């Protein structure tokens, strides 16, 4: 293309540190290294960019059996966010002794995924796989992530032998994270073993747990919903370095960043996509997520705004969401065609 110039050399990113440079989009991927890595560090005032991606499984809220599970915080203490108290920050899946031992025995004998040598370093002590933790002793989980203390059933007062906690993962309350369940189990094994947990027998897993080295920035603190740095007017990020996972997802972030960089050059208002579309839901997940527990994310229906109509058939429900999303995207295309 006559307006695109390709420079076939390493980009070191010195221009990132100057306010006088034109619009820049950094899309250097999850293996960013060298001088560029160091300059990005300086730009965003970060001690490091390497993270160990110890993502626990994510479960669709509607697939949790709330006739078994219950909402409550430990010792009945709810947190306050933005001045509003939240009632029952966690969904709790209780176990009796028999259920716990059945789950425990399957967990410690389940098949794990292959691990590269560089992933076996001591650093994983900080995000211990749940199956490794369980292998250290039959009660290790009960004194760790499955600790039942302070989690009596608020309706019945019943006490439990162990409790698996699920923490709200997105602001729509459509996804829950399995607390403490970082894992290297194969995906099929995660579905089989974790579905033994009371209340999760029919759980829909939007993302299985993964553990690997990754590089991504702290996007909820740093980026807005068009992938632009909040503190710098000329720099955008895109791709897996933002915390999106996958090729199509990376392309979608680049599309929004590039489009809005061009609009700014033309002196036009930014165009954002709402969470009723895949492209918008991913951008909002990146920029509005719980920053203290931020982990990379693929696109999934769990982060897209649901529909008000109750439809049991998943295929039909998802199709309605997709049709609505296409209509919303077409509306944005009309606006863009008028501007550009």
* Chain centroid offset of residue 319 CA: 23
Model confidence pLDDT, tens digit, residues 63-95: 999 999 999 988 876 543 333 334 467 999 999
List helix spans (H) across 110-233: 130-134, 187-194, 219-222
pLDDT category of residue 190 using cuts at 50, 70 and 90 = very high
pLDDT category of residue 233 using cuts at 50, 70 and 90 = confident
Q: DSSP character for 227? A: S
CA distances from residue 181 to 10, 122, 150, 172, 315 in whole angstroms, order as listed: 39, 18, 20, 22, 29
Average pLDDT, the chain: 87
Bridge partners of 78, per DSSP, are none
22: left (phi over 0), alpha (psi -120 to 50) or beta: beta
Provide the pLDDT for residue 51: 66
Provide the pLDDT for residue 83: 37
Res. 143: pLDDT tops 70: yes
pTM of the predicted structure, to 2 decimals: 0.62
Q: Point out the least confidently predicted range of 84-98, 109-123, 133-147, 258-272.
A: 109-123
Q: Cα-flanking dihedrals φ and ψ of residue 182, to 5°?
A: -60, 140
Res. 119: pLDDT tops 60: no
Provide the pLDDT for residue 154: 84
Res. 118: pLDDT tops 70: no
Q: What would the mean pLDDT of 46-70 be, rounded to a whole number? A: 85
Greatest mean pLDDT range, 38-52, 193-207, 280-294, 305-319: 193-207
Bridge partners of 223, per DSSP, are 229
Res. 213: pLDDT tops 80: no
Model confidence pLDDT, tens digit, residues 243-259: 898 889 999 999 999 99
Q: Point out the least confidently predicted range of 70-79, 257-266, 311-320.
A: 70-79
Provide the pLDDT for residue 79: 43
Res. 137: pLDDT tops 90: yes
Q: What is the DSSP annotation of 4-27? A: -----S----GGGG-TTS--EEE-
Give the dihedral sign, CA 163/192/59/246: positive
pLDDT category of residue 336 using cuts at 50, 70 and 90 = confident
Beta strand segments in the chain, E: 24-26, 50-55, 58-60, 70-71, 80-81, 84-85, 90-95, 162-168, 175-178, 205-207, 210-215, 235-237
| C-alpha–C-alpha distance, residues 130 and 185, integer Å | 9
């Amino acid at each position: 293309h006559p307006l695109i110039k390709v420079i076939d050399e390493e980009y070191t990113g010195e221009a990132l540190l100057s306010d006088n440079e034109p619009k820049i989009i950094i899309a250097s991927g999850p293996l960013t290294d060298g001088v560029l890595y160091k300059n990005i560090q300086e730009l965003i005032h970060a001690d490091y960019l390497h993270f160990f991606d110890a993502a626990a499984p994510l479960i669709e809220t509607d697939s949790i059996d709330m006739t078994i599970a219950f909402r409550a915080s430990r010792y009945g203490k709810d947190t306050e966010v933005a001045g509003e108290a939240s009632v029952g920050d966690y969904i709790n899946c209780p176990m009796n002794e028999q259920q716990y031992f059945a789950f425990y025995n399957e967990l410690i004998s389940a098949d794990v995924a292959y691990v590269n040598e560089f992933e076996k370093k001591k650093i994983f002590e900080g995000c211990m796989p749940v199956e490794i933790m369980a292998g250290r002793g039959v009660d290790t989980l009960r004194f760790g992530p499955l600790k039942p203390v302070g989690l009596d059933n608020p309706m019945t007062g019943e006490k439990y032998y162990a409790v698996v906690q699920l923490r709200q993962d997105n602001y729509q309350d459509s996804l829950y994270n399995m607390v403490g369940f970082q894992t290297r189990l194969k995906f099929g094994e995660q579905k089989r073993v974790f579905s033994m947990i009371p209340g999760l027998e029919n759980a829909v897993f939007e993302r299985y747990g993964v553990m690997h080295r990754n590089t991504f920035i702290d996007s909820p603190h740093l980026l807005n919903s068009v992938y632009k740095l909040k503190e710098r007017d000329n720099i955008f990020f895109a791709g897996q370095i933002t915390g999106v996972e996958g090729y199509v997802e990376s392309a979608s972030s680049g599309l929004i960043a590039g489009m809005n960089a061009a609009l700014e050059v033309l002196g036009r208002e930014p165009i954002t996509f709402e969470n009723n579309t895949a492209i918008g839901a991913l951008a909002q997940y990146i920029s509005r997520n719980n920053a203290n527990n931020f982990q990379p994310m693929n696109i999934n229906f769990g982060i897209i705004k649901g529909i008000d109509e109750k439809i049991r058939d998943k295929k039909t429900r998802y199709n309605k969401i997709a049709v609505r999303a296409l209509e919303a995207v077409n509306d944005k295309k009309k606006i863009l065609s008028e501007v550009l």
